[in-house]
Copies of this chain bind each other. A is one copy, B any other.
Amino acid sequence: MVERLVVIGGDAAGMAAASEVRRRRPDMEVIALEKGHWTSYSACGIPYLVAGDVGGFDDLVARTPDEFRMKQHIDVRMRHEAMAIDLDRRRVEVRDLERERTISIGFDQLMVGTGARPIRPQLPGIDADWVRGVQTLDDGCALLAQAKASACRRVVVVGAGYIGLEMAEAFHRWGASVTLVEADPTAMSRTLDREMGDRVADAVRGLGVDVRLEHKVEGFADGAVVTNAGSVPADLVVLGLGVAPNTGLAEAAGLLTGIRGAIEVDRRQRTSAEGVWAAGDCADTWHRVSQRRVHVALGTVANKTARVAGINIGGGYARFGGVVGTAITRVCGTEVARTGLTEHEAVLAGFDHVAARIDTTTRAGYFPGAEPMTVKLVAERGGGRVLGAQIVGGTGAAKRIDTVATALHAGLDVTELVELDLAYAPPFSSVWDPVQVAARRAAAML
């Protein structure tokens, strides 16, 4: 009998795993179930679609269902929602949303790629149709349709994390008057240290977005967002409060879950059940610096962990190398990146540390187009091991975080960071790369 893999979820994790399996096992039957209307898309692109940088939703689709069917012989079933997993009988109960019928599909191996869902706190009025999250491409479609239909002029974005900031800028550029409401005292408070987040908040304010920090949302009523410091009128509310792993199905089936409710996997992406794998936003992962299990909902991690799952399902051998907590965005012309641990996280994780912060320029200071940039580097006392870095600055600033991310993987210390033979020419850098200037400062502090 032909061995069958069933994949739940047709976005990055599910389809990357399915593709990897297909490459290795042309003989295996691969069925992929997707409850929505799209496969394998860039959810990260949604803000840029709203802003008008990207022409249409199709542009965000890396591969269509038909391409998976024709080129890779993957049996992609759209608008099919997995309702239950029976681990003993090795079957998935599936709702065919178009035909309104329920079917049962057996599996030999099961890949869970159910992703994440936007966090929606239980606040009065949060289920109103003018209060929306942005996670899937279907969410994005609905959001843009709503915005266009209502010709909305006043948009309130709740939450000043990545998605919130990107959506605030997007709707500002779309033409709306935008208010950004955040309960914490700065922007990106779960991502950056306070003084770095302040730089980001300033950049967003500079564009003309009304940024209200330390405003806690209490509900949504009568066309307004109600906060502890007054109401903000809104035609449309976008929730940017982060995401949680979408694991109701997995939990109900008895798969073990842990940190933040994510499915527990080992470094080969195996769940607690034999022959059942998980990857992407629904699964937990391992942080190389803190040596702890973490939940990271990012496309990069989804693609990498899914590839590992696919190699293993396909009979190969791969282990995921873990994350170091790298993330990047561009908000209102300001580039923002981080990797490893912030100073705050280093303290929480029990590291005795030094933190060096330097202000410099993106290019040689005399070179046209040189813009300010700030680098903050955190290192462990004693050996001087690099623990993390944050960068906020102009064009060309943020991708330098990759140098530190690579250093974190390799476990380099600040002296080694200073030694690195990094690229210099006046259009790109000062002669000492800003990352190294920060490393020198940190080395001096040690």
Contact = CB atoms under 8 A, between A and B. Distances in A.
Interface of A: 12, 42, 44-45, 48, 53-55, 59-60, 288, 298-301, 303-304, 320-330, 337, 339, 364, 366-368, 396, 398-403, 405-410, 412, 416, 418-429, 431-433
Copies of this protein in the complex: 2
A82 B76 CA distance: 77
B425 A366 contact: no
A411 B359 CA distance: 31
B403 A329 contact: no
Contact of A424 (B299, B424, B433): B299
B54 A339 contact: no
A98 to B, nearest CB: 28
A147 B320 CA distance: 59
B406 A403 contact: yes
Nearest to A54: B366
A422 B424 CA distance: 20
A48 B423 CA distance: 18
A321 B55 CA distance: 48
Contacts of A303: 431-432
A55 B367 CA distance: 9
A329 B329 CA distance: 26
A329 B405 CA distance: 24
B405 A420 contact: yes
Nearest to A299: B431
Nearest to A340: B421
Contacts of A301: 421
- Most chain B beta carbons < 10 A, residue from A304, A324, A329: A304
A59 B426 CA distance: 12
Contacts of A288: 421
A371 to B, nearest CB: 14
A221 to B, nearest CB: 35
B406 A300 contact: no
B405 A402 contact: no
A303 B329 CA distance: 32
A426 B45 contact: yes
Contact of A423 (B366, B398, B410, B419): B398
A139 B44 CA distance: 50
Nearest to A323: B421
Contacts of A425: 44, 328-330
A324 B405 contact: no
Contacts of A53: 367-368
Contact of A409 (B44, B366, B420): B420
A427 B327 contact: no
